[in-house]
Amino acid sequence: MQGAAGFLLFVVFAGLAITFAVLRYGKGRQLLEDWVSDNGYTLVECQRRILFRGPFFWTTGRSQLVYQIIVQDAAGVRRSGYARVGAYIIGMLSDKVDVRWDD
């Protein structure tokens, strides 16, 4: 019986971890898309960066997400850069988005 209870506990915790990860990454992407829209851009390309975080490499907390982005404005001008979502300590509990352009 102990083996079954341990396995059930493992399944519950694994399910919670997966659920929180999906919610975290979903909210991070939504914050980025909202920022892009609010600033009059269209998101052309977006890649989440895990190791190489560009200008945010040394200043990003574990609870923040970094994306490499390419956006386009209404005139068709494209810009590329990096966007960091969330706050250093509270992560996705914050709606903060920092963007650093390549140019």
The predicted pLDDT at position 67 comes to 97
- Report the distance separating Cα 81 and Cα 69, nearest Å: 5
pLDDT in tens, 40-77: 999 999 999 999 999 999 999 989 999 999 999 999 99
The predicted pLDDT at position 5 comes to 81
pLDDT in tens, 6-40: 888 888 888 888 887 888 888 999 999 999 999 99
Please classify residue 35 by burial: count the beta carbons closer than 10 Å to its beta carbon, then call 0-12 exposed, 13-18 middle and 19+ buried: buried
Is the pLDDT score of 1 beyond 80? no
pTM for this entry: 0.84
Measure the CA angle with vertex 95, ends 64 and 17; round to 5°: 50
**3 state DSSP class of 4:** helix
